[in-house]
């Protein structure tokens, strides 16, 4: 973790996040309720794209640092242990970036906010807007961690140059399209693209949205597990 925080790339990432959050705050109406505007701030497509690109840079930075630790690599019992440790390091560093970004976002909002805090009943569900915002934060964090692992596996399967291009395309899916007026009324209309869980859609109930989100994350983990097996076949031998 110390190597990661002391890296020059982290300073660059923090500057990108700072600029992104300033732009995000400037780009929305700061009046009305704080919580509702914060939700709008977080779901902006261009804000999310810059955030995910910062995460991608963090993944590449972690991988580069990890590959330089030759003496640690040769102590690994094999490819599986090497990949598991790498994924854990990436997830830990991405969590640090997410927390830093959250703090920056809150500071920016507090500087610009002019309305009331506005804890109230959510316009669609029988929960408060604050409870929904907390739920959204948790889901957002989980999806970002899933994407970071996907980026790692993509790098190991396709190589860094090709993986960068594939990862950028995955991130840019946010724009195609980002919003629709389709309501999710049952499990059969459950969104299957990760971008739909970084936006706010109308579900028939909060229980349905919660269930769809959990199911999507479970399916994502199953896919990542299969990709990890594929990745181990492509990787060269490591360790003793």
* Between residues 29 and 66, the one the model is more confident about: 66
How confident is residue 82, by pLDDT bands cut at 50, 70 and 90?
confident
| Per-residue pLDDT tens digits for 201-236 | 888 899 999 999 999 999 999 999 999 988 888 776
pLDDT (mean) for 39-44 = 83
Confidence of residue 55 (pLDDT cuts 50, 70, 90): very high
Instruction: Detail the DSSP E strand segments found in the chain.
Output: none
Residue with tokens 């003496």: 71
Q: What is residue 38's predicted lDDT score, i.e. its pLDDT?
A: 82
- Domain of 215? 2-234
The pTM for the full model equals 0.89
Provide the pLDDT confidence category of residue 110 given band limits of 50, 70 and 90.
confident
Establish if 70 belongs to a structural domain: yes
Is residue 240 a part of any domain in this protein? no
The whole-angstrom separation of Cα 62 and Cα 58 is: 6
Tens of pLDDT, residues 142-199: 999 999 999 999 998 888 899 999 999 999 998 876 555 577 888 888 888 899 999 8
Out of 3-12, 30-39, 43-52, give the one with best mean pLDDT.
43-52
Residue 240, pLDDT above cutoff 50: no
- For residue 239, tell me if it sits in a domain: no
The pLDDT value recorded for residue 239 is 44
Give the pLDDT confidence score for residue 192 in this predicted structure: 87
Number of domains comprising the chain: 1
Is pLDDT of 26 > 60? yes
Q: pLDDT band at 83, cuts 50/70/90?
A: confident
């Amino acid at each position: 973790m110390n190597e990661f925080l002391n890296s020059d790339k982290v300073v660059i990432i923090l500057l990108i996040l700072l600029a992104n959050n300033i732009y995000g705050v400037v780009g929305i109406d700061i009046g009305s309720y704080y919580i509702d505007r914060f939700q709008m701030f977080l779901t902006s497509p261009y804000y999310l794209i810059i955030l995910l690109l910062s995460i991608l840079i963090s993944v590449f930075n972690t991988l580069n640092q990890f590959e330089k630790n030759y003496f640690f690599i040769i102590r690994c019992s094999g490819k599986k242990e090497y990949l598991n440790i790498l994924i854990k390091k990436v997830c830990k560093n991405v969590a640090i970036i997410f927390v830093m970004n959250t703090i920056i976002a809150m500071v920016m909002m507090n500087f610009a906010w002019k309305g009331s805090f506005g804890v109230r009943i959510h316009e669609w569900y029988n929960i408060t807007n604050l409870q929904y915002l907390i739920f959204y934060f948790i889901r957002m964090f989980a999806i970002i961690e899933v994407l970071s692992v996907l980026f790692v596996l993509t790098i190991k399967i396709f190589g860094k140059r090709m993986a960068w291009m594939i990862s950028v395309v995955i991130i840019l899916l946010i724009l195609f399209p980002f919003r629709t007026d389709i309501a999710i009324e049952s499990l059969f209309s459950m969104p299957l693209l990760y971008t739909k869980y970084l936006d706010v859609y109308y579900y028939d109930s909060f229980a349905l949205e919660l269930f769809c989100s959990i199911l999507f994350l479970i399916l994502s983990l199953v896919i990542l597990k299969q990709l990890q097996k594929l990745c181990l076949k492509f990787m060269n031998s490591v360790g003793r």
